[in-house]
């Protein structure tokens, strides 16, 4: 038993495990023991607000797909907490949730609808219930609340391995947050509007190898409480027997905010008995599946065990696929074959996604979605000195490349500590002043080749109101692009930047301070616009880059083959420079040059499928329907082979009064004659069909012609 010291300090985290206890009494006990009331009063007094005007937001877990076995936070516990608050004079209590707007593949998933189904009281007597993205948005209510209570459920999760307090915060994010951005959203919430108190409802927990996809009830009789969401999760994960870094969302927050101290734990950290976790292979494959654009978001519908009566499916193929896959998910815990099948399915979907992504990256960049990624670095970590030192820091490296001769054409390349140093310049036949008025030096990185998104934050301005210091997150396609075929990641880097504005020169300096996906170790550099002696503008670019290599290239140690490596690197940089020069020219001319497409902010629906994804989903649905109706693979084979002409035609023997079935002998030659006769019939029928084939092709030609005519008409062109 670990207990906190008794110097009147409340424990940093409190764990209560009371087999046979009642949930209400356990809640009351843990609130007292964890210093919940004291913490709340402390916040209220600091803000000098009376109890009746002190607003409290409670965020329960409402990820409920089966009302008979609701896997969210126990509604009775939330209501009891609200009653206790009310009894103490707190009048403004709101229960909030927005999470379910993401589940648009089902009907009745509006946040208030789920809350209503689960049984929350909408009378407003004790608390209000709000949710959704509209006027009274959950995110706004949450951030505006004077005291925020995060009331999570104790459960495993298919892709995140476990879903506790940090994961529950996703329920206050607007629905237009992309799946890949969830971690940084949680981090943002923990920084900007963290919960004042966190509770984990583990009275009835939900474990299982499929996580939330097929939750299994577990009577854990445990409640966990802490003012620190990360600490509560670390303890919750420990009790599941898990590394708290296994959840990518939690890992991102832990890496950014640091591991909380385990000092002052009140309660047992022993593992729940008979607890079953999600296999890391399942979680990894599910994450890869989720990352597939379009198909990843939609595939949630196929894997989730759903109470169809309350939450009918919107799409027929989701319904069909779900009826085939969800039962497999439910069997993962006790049937390894089901688990491997799911891993295989996840991997297949992920492979399809990789294939589509590679095709788009290499041949159709316009099909790639531009990405909005928030800056995750803590900008307070960087002082003015970090920004102002950038020119000096970069000059050190630039001199290495500038002193040598030109490698090829207008570019110079050198290697230093495995990083590529690159310098090049280009003179535009455009007047300097005109150029800098249209091409913003502060956005120089966004003009670069294969820039696919990111975000930019101004940190400081000069006396003229111009940006002097800024931080930027940049995402570029894999360099060279064909690295995508070897599993190369998008280059995702976060930089601090300094801007200098002179009479005849503007420069942006940058240094990479983080790479959220570890795709780059260095990506530093500068871009300058310089007034040339003839009055035109000369653009100079220097970079120091060291990108992580895909596993394949790490394996073959490409560094040991400098001839191949240098050739690849030189080609990549030449392409990069030529296209960057062209992009800046396009920016000056006012032409569109950015790759990818922008999805409207109000239309981010990850469940919506593109054409290819829709075809794949339809094909999968057809296959699953076939398997479902034919009961087994053998049945499918039999069906295809049309067993009517291969089966035994003898009548099935009927049991006699003693229950025996009597099989008579087959007359000699009968079976042979029968088979021979059937073969003759078959040959005759095949001949008829073949004789009719000209008619079939004539009809087909006519049908194709009508489609072509319709296509030409739709496109306003000629049919031929």
Partner 1 sequence: MRALVTGATGIVGNNLVRALLDDGYDVRVLVRPSSDNTSLRRLPVEHWPGDILDHQTLVGVADKCSFVFHAAALFAYSGFTQDELDQIAVDGTRNVITAAAHANAERIVVTSSTVTLGSATTPAVRDERDTFEDKYPSSYTLSKVRQEKAAFEACRELGLELVVVCPGLTVGSFDYRLSPSNASIVNYLNDPMRFTFPGGCNIVSARDVAAGHIVAACHGAAGERYVVGGENLHWRDVHRMISALGGTFGPTYTLNNTSTYLAGAAAEMSARVMGKRPSVTRDEATMACHYYWYSSDAISRLGYAATPCEDALAEALAWLIHRSYLSESVVDRLTPDDRVREHLQALRGVAA
For residue 269, cis peptide bond before it (omega within 30 degrees of 0):
no
Shortest separation between residue 437's beta carbon and partner 1, angstroms: 52
Q: Which residue has the tokens 């069906």?
A: 639
Asked whether the beta carbons of 292 and 353 are under 8 A apart, the reply is: yes
The residue range among 208-216, 432-440, 448-456, 705-713 that interacts with partner 1, by the rule CB under 8 A, is 705-713
Q: Which is nearer to partner 1, 655 or 695 (CB)?
A: 695
The residue range among 160-168, 207-215, 313-321, 557-565 that interacts with partner 1, by the rule CB under 8 A, is 313-321
The residue range among 9-17, 190-198, 296-304, 618-626 that interacts with partner 1, by the rule CB under 8 A, is 618-626
Pinpoint the alpha helices (H) of 212-270.
229-239, 248-257
**In 3-state terms, what secondary structure has residue 559?**
helix
Q: Which is nearer to partner 1, 324 or 382 (CB)?
A: 324
Q: Which is nearer to partner 1, 294 or 516 (CB)?
A: 294
Q: Are strands 55-60 and 92-97 parallel, antiparallel or unpaired?
A: parallel
The residue range among 163-171, 287-295, 362-370, 614-622 that interacts with partner 1, by the rule CB under 8 A, is 614-622
Indicate the DSSP class of residue 266. E
User: Can you read off the two tokens belonging to residue 638?
Assistant: 């039999």
Shortest separation between residue 700's beta carbon and partner 1, angstroms: 6
Binding test (CB under 8 A) with partner 1, winner from 50, 458, 518, 702: 702
Residues within window 486-505 making contact with partner 1, judged by CB under 8 A: none
Q: Which is nearer to partner 1, 395 or 689 (CB)?
A: 689
- The answer to whether 703 contacts partner 1 (rule: CB under 8 A) is yes
**Within 10 Å of residue 637's Cβ, how many Cβ atoms?**
11
Shortest separation between residue 703's beta carbon and partner 1, angstroms: 4
Question: CB-based burial of residue 304 (10 Å sphere; 0-12 exposed, 13-18 middle, 19+ buried)?
Answer: buried
Q: Which is nearer to partner 1, 556 or 698 (CB)?
A: 698
The residue range among 40-48, 266-274, 315-323, 477-485 that interacts with partner 1, by the rule CB under 8 A, is 315-323
Question: CB-based burial of residue 356 (10 Å sphere; 0-12 exposed, 13-18 middle, 19+ buried)?
Answer: buried
Q: Which is nearer to partner 1, 363 or 697 (CB)?
A: 697
Binding test (CB under 8 A) with partner 1, winner from 408, 707, 712, 719: 707
The residue range among 109-117, 314-322, 580-588, 593-601 that interacts with partner 1, by the rule CB under 8 A, is 314-322
User: Can you read off the two tokens belonging to residue 402?
Assistant: 């500038």
User: Can you read off the two tokens belonging to residue 324?
Assistant: 């085939």
The residue range among 92-100, 481-489, 622-630, 664-672 that interacts with partner 1, by the rule CB under 8 A, is 622-630
- The answer to whether 378 contacts partner 1 (rule: CB under 8 A) is no
* Rounded distance between C-alpha atoms, residue 130 and residue 115, angstroms: 9
Helical (H) or strand (E) element with 498:
strand 491-501
Return the bridge partners of 106, or none: 313
> Read out DSSP for 500-525?
EE-SSEEEEEEEEEE-TTS-EEEEEE
Indicate the DSSP class of residue 389. T
Q: CA of 10: how far to CAs of 25, 30, 58, 186, in Å?
A: 19, 11, 21, 26
Task: Tell me the per-residue interface mask from 434 to 463 with partner 1, x by CB under 8 A, - otherwise.
Answer: ------------------------------
**Within 10 Å of residue 139's Cβ, how many Cβ atoms?**
18
Apex CA 517: angle with CA 512 and CA 520, to 5°? 40
Q: Which residue has the tokens 């420990």?
A: 238
Q: Which is nearer to partner 1, 251 or 626 (CB)?
A: 626
Shortest separation between residue 709's beta carbon and partner 1, angstroms: 8
Q: Which is nearer to partner 1, 564 or 686 (CB)?
A: 686
Q: Which is nearer to partner 1, 438 or 685 (CB)?
A: 685
Residues within window 318-377 making contact with partner 1, judged by CB under 8 A: 319-320
User: Can you read off the two tokens belonging to residue 211?
Assistant: 């996580």
Q: Which is nearer to partner 1, 1 or 691 (CB)?
A: 691
The residue range among 9-17, 103-111, 585-593, 701-709 that interacts with partner 1, by the rule CB under 8 A, is 701-709
Q: Which is nearer to partner 1, 337 or 685 (CB)?
A: 685
The beta-strand segments (E) located in 105-165 are 128-131, 147-157, 161-163
Q: Which is nearer to partner 1, 631 or 657 (CB)?
A: 631
**For residue 553, which of 561, 544, 563 has the smallest C-alpha distance?**
561
Residues 6+ apart with CB under 8 A from 329: 210, 213, 214, 303, 304, 305, 338, 342
Q: Which is nearer to partner 1, 122 or 711 (CB)?
A: 711
N-term to C-term CA, the chain: 83
Residues within window 624-683 making contact with partner 1, judged by CB under 8 A: 625-626, 629, 642, 644-645, 681-682
Shortest separation between residue 327's beta carbon and partner 1, angstroms: 16
- The answer to whether 704 contacts partner 1 (rule: CB under 8 A) is yes
Shortest separation between residue 622's beta carbon and partner 1, angstroms: 6
Q: Which is nearer to partner 1, 552 or 639 (CB)?
A: 639
The residue range among 43-51, 317-325, 361-369, 370-378 that interacts with partner 1, by the rule CB under 8 A, is 317-325
Apex CA 86: angle with CA 186 and CA 38, to 5°? 65
Return the bridge partners of 471, or none: 457, 496
Q: Which residue has the tokens 């509209």?
A: 134
Q: Which is nearer to partner 1, 143 or 608 (CB)?
A: 608
Task: Tell me the per-residue interface mask from 553 to 592 with partner 1, x by CB under 8 A, - otherwise.
Answer: ----------------------------------------
Asked whether the beta carbons of 422 and 575 are under 8 A apart, the reply is: no
* Rounded distance between C-alpha atoms, residue 243 and residue 225, angstroms: 19
Query: How big is the chain, counted in residues?
Result: 720
Residues 6+ apart with CB under 8 A from 235: 13, 15, 224, 226, 265, 269
Asked whether the beta carbons of 230 and 166 are under 8 A apart, the reply is: yes
The residue range among 125-133, 146-154, 541-549, 702-710 that interacts with partner 1, by the rule CB under 8 A, is 702-710
Shortest separation between residue 704's beta carbon and partner 1, angstroms: 5
* Rounded distance between C-alpha atoms, residue 487 and residue 555, angstroms: 13
* Rounded distance between C-alpha atoms, residue 78 and residue 64, angstroms: 15
Binding test (CB under 8 A) with partner 1, winner from 560, 688, 715, 718: 688
Tell me the site size for partner 1, rule CB under 8 A. Answer: 31
Shortest separation between residue 542's beta carbon and partner 1, angstroms: 54
Q: Which is nearer to partner 1, 25 or 698 (CB)?
A: 698
Shortest separation between residue 698's beta carbon and partner 1, angstroms: 8
Shortest separation between residue 317's beta carbon and partner 1, angstroms: 8
Contact residues: partner 1, CB under 8 A: 313, 316-317, 319-320, 618, 621-622, 625-626, 629, 642, 644-645, 681-682, 685-686, 688-689, 695-696, 698-700, 702-704, 706-707, 710
């Amino acid at each position: 038993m670990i207990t906190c010291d008794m110097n009147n300090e409340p424990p940093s985290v409190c764990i209560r495990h009371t087999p046979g206890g009642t949930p209400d009494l356990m809640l009351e006990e843990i609130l007292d023991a964890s210093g919940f009331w004291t913490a709340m009063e402390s916040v209220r007094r600091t803000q000098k607000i009376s109890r009746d005007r002190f607003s409290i937001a409670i965020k329960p877990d409402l990820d409920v797909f089966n009302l008979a076995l609701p896997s969210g936070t126990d509604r009775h516990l939330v209501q009891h907490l609200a009653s206790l608050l009310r009894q103490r004079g707190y009048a403004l209590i709101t229960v909030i949730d927005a999470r379910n707007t993401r589940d648009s593949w089902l009907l009745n998933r509006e946040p208030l609808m789920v809350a209503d189904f689960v049984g929350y009281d909408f009378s407003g007597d004790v608390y209000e219930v709000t949710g959704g993205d509209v006027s009274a948005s959950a995110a706004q209510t949450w951030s505006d609340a004077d005291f925020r209570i995060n009331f999570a459920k104790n459960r495993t999760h298919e892709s995140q391995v476990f879903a506790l307090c940090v994961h529950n915060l996703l329920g206050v994010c607007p629905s237009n947050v992309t799946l890949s951005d969830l971690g940084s959203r949680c981090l943002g919430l923990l920084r900007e509007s963290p919960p004042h108190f966190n509770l984990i409802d583990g009275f009835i927990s939900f474990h299982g190898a499929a996580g939330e996809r097929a939750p299994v009830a577990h009577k854990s009789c445990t409640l966990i409480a802490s003012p620190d969401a990360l600490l509560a999760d670390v303890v919750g994960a420990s009790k599941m027997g898990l590394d708290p870094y296994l959840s990518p969302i939690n890992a991102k927050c832990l890496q950014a905010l640091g591991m909380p101290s385990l000092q002052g734990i009140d309660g047992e950290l022993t593992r729940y008995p008979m607890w079953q976790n999600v296999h890391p292979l399942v979680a990894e494959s599910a994450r890869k599946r989720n990352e597939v654009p379009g198909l990843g978001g939609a595939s949630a519908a196929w894997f989730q065990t759903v109470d169809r009566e309350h939450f009918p499916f919107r799409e027929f193929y989701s319904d069909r696929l779900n009826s085939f896959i969800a039962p497999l998910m439910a069997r993962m815990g006790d049937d390894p074959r089901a688990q491997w099948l799911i891993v295989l399915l996840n991997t297949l979907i992920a492979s399809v996604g990789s294939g589509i992504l590679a095709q788009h990256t290499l041949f159709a960049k316009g099909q790639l979605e531009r990405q909005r990624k928030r800056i995750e670095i803590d900008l307070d970590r960087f002082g003015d000195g970090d920004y102002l030192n950038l020119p000096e820091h970069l000059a050190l490296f630039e001199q290495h490349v500038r002193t040598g001769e030109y490698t090829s054409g207008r570019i110079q390349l050198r290697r230093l500590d495995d990083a590529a140093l690159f310098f090049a310049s280009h003179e535009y036949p455009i007047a300097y002043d005109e150029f800098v008025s249209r091409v913003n030096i502060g956005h120089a990185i966004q003009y670069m080749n294969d820039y696919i998104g990111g975000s930019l934050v101004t940190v400081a301005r000069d006396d003229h109101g111009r940006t002097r210091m800024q931080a930027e997150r940049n995402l570029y396609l894999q360099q060279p692009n064909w690295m995508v075929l070897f599993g190369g990641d998008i280059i995702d880097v976060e930089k601090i930047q300094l801007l200098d504005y002179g009479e005849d020169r503007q420069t942006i300096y940058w240094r990479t301070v983080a790479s959220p996906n570890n795709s780059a170790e260095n990506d530093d550099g500068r871009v300058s616009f310089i007034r040339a002696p003839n009055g035109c503008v000369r653009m100079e670019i220097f970079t120091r880059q060291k990108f992580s290599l895909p596993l394949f290239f790490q394996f073959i140690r490409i560094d040991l083959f400098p001839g191949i490596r240098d050739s690849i690197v030189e080609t990549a940089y030449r392409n990069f420079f030529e296209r960057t020069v062209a992009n800046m020219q396009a920016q000056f001319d006012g032409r569109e040059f950015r790759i990818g497409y922008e999805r409207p902010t109000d239309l981010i629906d990850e469940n919506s499928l593109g054409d290819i994804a829709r075809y794949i989903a339809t094909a999968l649905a057809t296959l699953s329907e076939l398997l479902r109706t034919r009961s087994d693979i053998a049945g499918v084979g039999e069906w295809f082979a049309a067993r009517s002409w291969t089966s035994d035609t003898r009548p099935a023997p009927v049991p006699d009064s003693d229950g025996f079935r009597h099989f008579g002998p087959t007359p000699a030659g009968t079976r042979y004659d029968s088979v021979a006769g059937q073969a003759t019939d078959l040959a005759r029928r095949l001949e008829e069909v073949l004789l009719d084939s000209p008619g079939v092709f004539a009809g087909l030609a006519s049908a194709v012609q009508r489609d072509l005519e319709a296509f030409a008409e739709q496109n306003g062109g000629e049919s031929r």
